Structure 1
Amino acid sequence: MIFGYRHREEKGTAYELRCYRRTAIMLFILNVPMGGMIFLMIQTNSSFNYPGYLIYLSALYTLYMMTLSIVNLVKFRKMDSPILSAAKVLNFVSAMMSVLGLQTAMIVRFSSNGEEYRKMMNAITGSAIFFIVMVMVVMMVQSSKIEKKVERNEKIRK
């Protein structure tokens, strides 16, 4: 993606869109093992355990990363660079996985509802993350909206 961004001026916007779609396909491929990891986490009822006050720092970091990734996702979606937009999508997926990890740690530490509650919450959150990533992949592959915007901006530049 970095190589594509550096060479975007000389190769044109069609190249950027190919990079954007290629990133979507790679994200789809990555989503398969990510879904497997979520499934195994639910089946084996695994969790994270942070010692002492480290869970609060982890929560602060996760909240910051989630907020930043949402802001950047919206901000860079409005720009004319599909490559930068794809990078922000990857940051958003990473932040969502951090939320899932934090959720399991917080349920272990603060909840008294037991293992079934943790399984149910991990299933709900994990399924939501998997579904959101799949929707984002479909939107990236069908990037006709970005294509039209880039073509319009190219016409204006000429």
Structure 2
Amino acid sequence: MASLWPPCCRLLERLPMRLLMILLPALLTAAAAEAQSISVNKGQWHVTQDVYYEASADGEPLDFPAEHSAVDECWMLDEEVMIDASMVEMFEGCSATDVNSREFGLDIGMICDFDGLEVDGAAQFSVSHGKDSFVAQIYLQSIARAPVDFQSHIVMIGHRTGTCQAPG
């Protein structure tokens, strides 16, 4: 008898049906999460980033000054204009826990380990209908049993300013 399973999934036909019914929703959810993304237009971009911190250890406040930066960059590659769950990996030690897409946005749950300080949070990305601007807000906070009470709020705002200029 010929297999009803497509070639990519033939290993699944050997699993007991009960186990398959337990695993299938998780497999489908993971595949859907990987496919969720939004994008902005290619071109010259001006992006600002503001980072705000609040932290204390043993009830004593820690001084973490706010950080502010701005960059002008040419984004011409598909991976430069794509916004997906891999964006949380721009923070070393972070990974996505879940992804929910909207028509012009993406909400990503995340968990991080910053040199032993475990934090969790969310990243929210919204893109304008014309895909020429975006805003990202990232919230992180230490888990309940952490030795340091830590919170941060990151705001990124980007605007496409035109086509990329040739170096010269």
TM category (shorter chain) comes to under 0.3
Bigger relative contact order, structure 1 or 2 (CA pairs below 8 A, ≥6 apart)? 1
Which is richer in strand?
2
Which is richer in helix?
1
- Superposition TM-score, scaled by structure 2 size: 0.22
Structure exhibiting the larger radius of gyration computed from Cα positions: 2
- Superposition TM-score, scaled by structure 1 size: 0.23
